[in-house]
A and B are shown apart, each in its own frame.
Chain A
Amino acid sequence: MKWRNVLRLISVDIKSGRLIRGQRLRRYRERRVLQYVMYGGSCLLGIAVGLLVGTVYSGVPDPEMKTGLLLNIKILFIAAPTLVLTYSLIFTMMRQIQRAGIKASIQPPYWLPITWGEHTLAAILANLIGVQLAALLSMVSAISVVSIFLGEIPLATLTIFALLAIAFLASATTEIFRILQVRLTGAVYKTSGKAAIWVRFFGSILIFIAFYVVYFFFTSGANFPAIIEALASGQKTVWFIPYLWLGMTLFSFVNGHIVETIAFSLGSVTFLSALFAVAAKLNSRFGLYEPPAISISIGAYTPRPSIWGRLGFSSSEAAIMRKDFKAFTRRRELMYFFVLPIVITIMYTSLMRVPYFQGSSGFSALILLIPGALMATSMGSMIIGQEGAPVWHLYSSPITAESLVKCKYRFVAIFSCAVTLACSAVGILIIRPSLRIIFAALIESIFLIVTLSAVSLRAGVKGASFVEIPRPRMIRPVDGIINFIVCIMLSCVILAPLIPYAGTMIGLLAPLPHFYLYIALAISGTTAAIATYGFYRIAVKNAKHFLAEAET
């Protein structure tokens, strides 16, 4: 294996991630400083946490308390590999989901003198770069600093090696899953014929739902100490699972079982090598596999009347809306838009079964408000950027800025309303809020959707990014973040008139007269209308610039 080849391949991946669309579509620039700020910041954060914990530990006067604290820190060290395994699996898989639609990013340059081993190793390591690496650096820094205060340098060194190894293990597992998934889905599409597109749609959605439910379970922060405790003690009973052997190595080391420590660490190295060998073997076998073509219809072309056309949209507006609908149901990287509202509904309805929240009608109103607003915010900001490289069709076609904004805006708003209705139906059936709450929440939801669609579309036009490799970016990160903040602030302003009403429901305020709800809704609606009008006009203005300056 040529290590320089591996490093070169990783550097290609890093550089492709740095591509930024500037003012000019055809010109790219790198932001090297920004790229490393995250890692530097993570190290500093880790050092700060380490210093804090170390100082607190040193300052504890009671020896018994000190021993207790040391024990807890050791438990954290033992649980850390399994925790990192979970997070790394989630983040590496998320990264692969984002890249799913882009063939170029996963196609190895097979014509170059690169071996499958080098390609696989580079793919595994490159998949860890980003948030995972930053988190890992943070943990490593914290552990290093804390260990000096604790006088546990050998344990800390072993923990750091275990963390690096487990992250590699997670990424190798993701790589294996990715290759198998491409091969398996290809076989499924082949056998499902014309139904392939729907098989793909529902299959992907189900996988995403399962994935995100697990993700939210782990990232919701619910009872974190209990999870750590369970991980540290639980892995003893399931020691035979190779993924836990690194944690078991630490557990054996802490308890002074040298033979077991050596056995588990050797087992871990063997398992890690075996996983890598499997990934390289699978890549050499299926790495260049092309999924079969999906054929949707056969026969002479017959144009069908469009539903959008009947709703008063012009031919070109209807064409763009139809195309966008197909994009959101066929492009895997866009399908996850459907998933978040579904997952929120699942998590929310599960949460509402917890006794503490039962009967909290104000809280239940959120299930009717959040999914549609979230959909409008995310979809609106990405509806232009999702065009990707084929955006030249919009540039070169005789579509006006007004038409473009009109069809994109209405597509986002209609889609978000449909999501609200679907999620609300489920929420109402399970949570059973009062009619009054359903009425108010649904109206407010519409206000939010109408406004946030315009706000996000403006950001989407202004900050559109057509970079597709290593993953479709769709909106420049800064514009995305600003848009999210603006949307949250504006949502608060729109919902503000209902705060007194919500206060009466949870018993914080005295009951208000019945008509107050209608006054609050009217104020809220007026605010929404003004904001929508303003942002819509700005979106049109930005779209004019977007079309006129196309590639300049």
Chain B
Amino acid sequence: MASDSDVTVKLTGVAKRYADVVAVDYVDLDVKKGEIFGLLGPNGSGKSTLLKMILGLVKPDSGSLNVLGIKAEENPVAIKAQTGYVPEVPRLYEFLTGMEYLDFTADLYNVSPAEKRKRINEYLEALELQGREGDMISAYSLGMKQKTALISAFVHRPKLLLLDEPLSGLDPRSARIIKDLLRELASKGVTTIMSTHILEIAQAMCDRIAIMYEGRLLATGNMEELREMARLPGSNLEEIFLALTGTSDVRDVVEALMK
């Protein structure tokens, strides 16, 4: 059992509805410091809403959120200052160049000029954006925009990373760099909560995984614990996911479509 000081994110009875749609249904969740935590679930299961609630972008209808030791409703600005966020579809300021954009986000988080210069140049080089940083973002490919959004989330050295589909659109090398970087950051105590649809990535990267379905947390744990919950010893995450979400009738669906 983790002590309270080890817990970076603590959600208690958090719920959110949009009219008749239940987005998040009384979720209780603890995410430990230095953990890479994966949120899995079908489309519309509430993953993105949960991430947004942790950051304070969406106000819960009920329940309490404690993030980095701060009550979310009391001081959301303090939480945001220590958090890096990449939304599912990062819409960037397309009239800025990549470099200007990163300069802008670093300034939002009050990074000193010397640090800003060092970090931005390092990330640009690592993610192979050097040479294109002077181009306007409107000319960037989807992958380049994703890399730029990721750099902007890392540049202020946050304690918590909230990443919604972080590897979408990335080339294999950049995806590998981001995966290794998240591991390195985790070893230094940075907590990452990421949502993904790519189960192989979740299985390979995450210390613990939560499976969401219709706003509820169906299961939370490491791979071994999930196998036990699904009663599927030796199975991979895909099999566990399909079994737990009750969507394992894939073959029937394909057959029906082929008729």
Contact = CB atoms under 8 A, between A and B. Distances in A.
Nearest to A330: B95
A395 interface: yes
Interface string B107-122: 1111101001100110
A398 B78 CA distance: 7
Given A390-B92, A397-B80, A294 B139 contact: yes
A396 B86 CA distance: 9
B91 A319 contact: no
A298 B131 contact: yes
A550 B99 contact: no
Contacts of B134: 295-299
Contact of B120 (A297, A301, A390): A301
A30 interface: no
A550 B58 contact: yes
Interface string A289-317: 00011111111111101000000001110
Interface stretch (B49-57, B185-193, B229-237, B245-253): B49-57
Nearest to A196: B136
B44 interface: no
Nearest to B93: A390
Given A298-B131, A301-B103, A323-B104, A392 B87 contact: yes
A547 B58 CA distance: 10
Interface string B53-80: 0011111000000000000000011101
A549 B60 CA distance: 10
Contacts of B102: 301
Interface string A519-552: 0000000000000000000000000000111111
Contacts of A296: 97, 100, 134-136
Nearest to B121: A301
A26 B136 CA distance: 27
A396 B57 CA distance: 7
Given A303-B117, A390-B93, A398-B108, A551 B135 contact: no
A323 B93 contact: yes
A318 B19 CA distance: 39
Nearest to A547: B76
Contacts of A105: none
A292 B136 CA distance: 10
Given A293-B136, A297-B97, A318-B107, A399 B55 contact: no
A316 B96 contact: no
Interface string A140-157: 000000000000000000
Interface in A306-356: 314-316, 318-320, 322-323, 326-327, 330-331
Contacts of B92: 390
A436 interface: no
B91 A392 contact: yes
Given A297-B134, A303-B117, A400-B77, A24 B108 contact: no
Contact of A390 (B76, B91, B108): B91
A550 B78 contact: no
B154 interface: no
Nearest to B87: A392
A295 B138 CA distance: 11
A129 to B, nearest CB: 27
B105 A393 contact: yes
A548 B59 contact: yes
A300 B121 contact: yes
Contact of B109 (A24, A390, A397): A397
A199 B91 CA distance: 26
Contacts of B25: none
B97 A551 contact: no
B124 A301 contact: yes
Given A551-B52, A552-B59, A297 B136 contact: no
A281 to B, nearest CB: 27
B108 A399 contact: yes
B19 to A, nearest CB: 8
A201 B97 CA distance: 16
Contact of A319 (B108, B121, B139): B108
Given A298-B131, A305-B113, A397-B80, 12 more contacts: A296-B97, A314-B110, A316-B107, A319-B107, A326-B100, A393-B105, A396-B57, A396-B87, A398-B108, A399-B77, A550-B52, A551-B52
Interface of A: 24, 26-27, 103, 292-303, 305, 314-316, 318-320, 322-323, 326-327, 330-331, 388-390, 392-393, 395-400, 547-552
Nearest first, the 6 A-B pairs at minimum CB distance are: A293-B139, A319-B107, A398-B81, A389-B91, A297-B134, A330-B95
17 contacts: A292-B139, A293-B138, A294-B139, A303-B113, A315-B107, A320-B108, A331-B95, A390-B92, A392-B91, A396-B85, A397-B80, A397-B105, A397-B108, A398-B81, A398-B108, A399-B108, A548-B56
Interface of B: 18-19, 52, 55-59, 76-78, 80-81, 83, 85, 87, 91-93, 95-97, 99-100, 102-105, 107-111, 113, 116-117, 120-121, 124, 131, 133-136, 138-139
